A = this chain, B = another copy of it.
Amino acid sequence: MKSVLLTACAVCLALHGSSQENLWWKTPVNSPEVNKDNTVTFRLKASNATSVEVVGDFLSKGEKVEMKKVSSDVWEYTTPKSLAPELYSYSFVIDGVKISDPSNVFLSRDVVTISNLFMIDGKESELYKVQNVAHGSLSKVWYHSDKLNADRRLTVYTPAGYETSKQKYPVLYLLHGMGGDEDSWSTLGRADQILDNLIAQGKAKPMIVVMTNGNADLQAAWGEASTGFVTPTIELPKTTDGSFEEAFPEVVTFIDKAYRTIAKKQSRAIAGLSMGGFHSMQISKEYPALFDYIGLFSASARFEGRQPSHIYDNCEAKIKVQFSQKPALYWIAIGKDDFLYAENQKLRKFLDDNKLPYTYVESEGGHIWKNWRNYLSQFVPLLFK
């Protein structure tokens, strides 16, 4: 009697629960399987399909590889070589339709693209993995913006022990790129894993990380606001019109009130990727008393937005004022293949010409999350020294 509770539950649910009618209790097939030699086998159970392919960021640009039918109903593909340690994403294409792997419940969203995830463990991915270390908390928190006339959602990382300590902490404000939202750095960027691991290794100071929504027209990530389940778009009216930047001090005020922060410039950093790098540059120069550490990751490094705003007026002069107050770190990172590479060199030329000191990191690759996770992992240990 006792031993059948679990079996009975599963069977009865399948038989009786109308909502559970379409539930699976096991995946159709084992996929993806990371083999001992770090090759990866993908499988899809699809007896009637005529063609199945895999696409993903472990392949070359635009590459699709064909899966082979290895039994009456299972298609399979194994990578010819071991994959390097990294967090990877992929999808299947069945008879021309791109789908998620039905056997893999781990997914991420980037704008409207849903991808499956898998991890190759190793030195290069150890910071992205949930390790057996003390974990911080990750919270979805709402604040009110008077300037944007809206309640708005933040993702807040507090380091392990925050809830039961009385300590005050420095704060990193971490900004997403175009098409992103307050969820992006934790889901695609693995920010909470990177912080947990760097702090546990003694390589970073325990800190609070605040991830904002940089789309001034949105209250929250798609599906998380009262507008309901609206399909994401990057075509938003207020991304680089100065309004997000202008309203940013309200976020700092809220965080300093709601959390045990060290509320001074020496204990505040701001960094962002792509559009978030643009925002970080603009906000830090507009409010030079707020941030001592600035990180531009693959930044859209221009001095003007899409719409005119007083925020973008006299940008060069304001940056000189910012540097006259000697920020502790102005950190610029860009990939050699990034479409924003030239723009970043132009910013560097301006800084060099004016003898404004910064740190420059040039990586391989382009405008990709692998680089942004890596830049965050390099930047965070430099903060609050």
Residues on A lying within 8 angstroms of B by beta carbon are 1-3, 5-6, 8-10, 12-13, 15-27, 30, 44-51, 55-57, 60-62, 89, 91, 94-100, 102-107, 109-115, 117-119, 121, 129-132, 134-142, 151, 153, 160, 163-164, 178-179, 220, 222-226, 228-229, 231-235, 239-240, 254, 257-259, 274-275, 300, 302, 304-308, 337-340, 365-370
- B223 pairs with A46, CB closer than 8 A: no
Interchain nearest-CB distance for A233 vs B (Å): 7
With contacts A113-B24, A138-B139 known, is A367 near B16, CB below 8 A?
A: yes
Instruction: Tell me the nearest residue of chain B to A305, going by C-beta.
Output: B2
Interchain nearest-CB distance for A301 vs B (Å): 12
A231 is contacted by which of B27, B365, B370 (Cβ under 8 Å)?
Answer: B27
A368 is contacted by which of B17, B117, B226 (Cβ under 8 Å)?
Answer: B17
How many copies the complex holds: the figure is 2
- B151 pairs with A134, CB closer than 8 A: yes
With contacts A22-B57, A114-B100, A130-B226 known, is A5 near B138, CB below 8 A?
A: no
Interchain nearest-CB distance for A217 vs B (Å): 13
- A6 pairs with B366, CB closer than 8 A: no
Instruction: Tell me the nearest residue of chain B to A229, going by C-beta.
Output: B106
If A129-B226, A138-B140 are given as contacts, then 18 extra A-B residue pairs at C-beta distance below 8 Å, sorted by A number, are: A6-B235, A9-B274, A19-B369, A19-B370, A22-B115, A25-B111, A25-B179, A48-B97, A99-B99, A105-B222, A105-B232, A129-B228, A130-B223, A135-B151, A137-B140, A137-B141, A163-B257, A164-B258
Interchain nearest-CB distance for A109 vs B (Å): 5
A228 is contacted by which of B103, B130, B370 (Cβ under 8 Å)?
Answer: B130
- Inter-chain CA distance A122–B105, complex, in Å, is 31
A239 is contacted by which of B6, B8, B103, B163 (Cβ under 8 Å)?
Answer: B6
With contacts A13-B339, A138-B139, A305-B2 known, is A22 near B91, CB below 8 A?
A: yes
- B96 pairs with A48, CB closer than 8 A: yes
- B132 pairs with A231, CB closer than 8 A: no
Residues from chain B with a CB closer than 8 A to the CB of A224 are: 130
Interchain nearest-CB distance for A329 vs B (Å): 26
- Inter-chain CA distance A181–B322, complex, in Å, is 48
- B142 pairs with A137, CB closer than 8 A: yes
- Inter-chain CA distance A160–B142, complex, in Å, is 8
